[in-house]
Amino acid sequence: MDLQYVLELIGVYVFAISGALAVQDKDQDWFGAGFTGFITAIGGGSLRDILLGSYPLVWIGDVWFFYAIIAGVVTTFLFYSLVARLRKTMFFFDTIGIGFFTVLGTEKALSLGVQPPIAVVMGMFSAVMGGVLRDTLTNEMPIIFRKEIYATACLAGAILYITLDNFEVTRNFNLLASMSLIITIRLFAVRYKLSLPSLGKWK
């Protein structure tokens, strides 16, 4: 296994935990929590691949992604109290996850021959749509509709990746730089409560 593959599995694992935890205040049973965790983990990548016509879907073509999701859900079941107390740590890993999956989603879209603007959107979808589905299932306002800077950070990182790729910057440096931009924007936005102007302010 190479490092990228391991990181993808870890990202799926963390997203599955995030989804399972999302139902803690909703009086859901464990099946509901597990289903939400599953959808959170595979939602973004599956939607991207369906839109791009890339089959089989990643988690169908590689059973280890399915196992990573199951591991995340089981971890939540067995160590619920511990995981719930580690929400700040989980937020950090979730932030790393959206950075990683944005860049990989953008890269995959480019490899399938789509135009750069579409690749940027596909990269953002890869990272955030699982969370959108999670919030929808738990009757919460999806995070991309809140004032938090979330999807915008992903778009910025995807645009940087496209830009550096056009200048033929080495892949590893490009991955690191683009991921770092997403993570930095997200962490600073949460730390200093930064947000984009609301629609009403433009009237």
pLDDT tens readout for residues 146-170:
777 889 999 999 999 999 999 999 9
Task: List the domain range (segments joined by +) for residue 177.
Answer: 3-196
Kindly state whether residue 155 falls inside one of the protein's structural domains. yes
Task: Return d(Cα 122, Cα 91) in angstroms, integer.
Answer: 23
- Give yes or no for a contact between 106 and 122, defined as CB atoms under 8 angstroms apart: yes
Q: Is residue 203 part of a domain?
A: no
> Residue 44: is its pLDDT beyond 80?
yes
Domains held by the chain: number: 1
**21-32 mean pLDDT:** 73
Q: What does pTM read for this prediction?
A: 0.87
Please report whether residue 83 resides in a domain.
yes
Whether 186 is covered by a domain: the verdict is: yes
**Which residues are CB-contacts of 85 (< 8 A; sequence separation ≥ 6)?**
none
Does 137 map to a domain?
Answer: yes
Asked if the structure places residue 202 within a domain, the reply is no
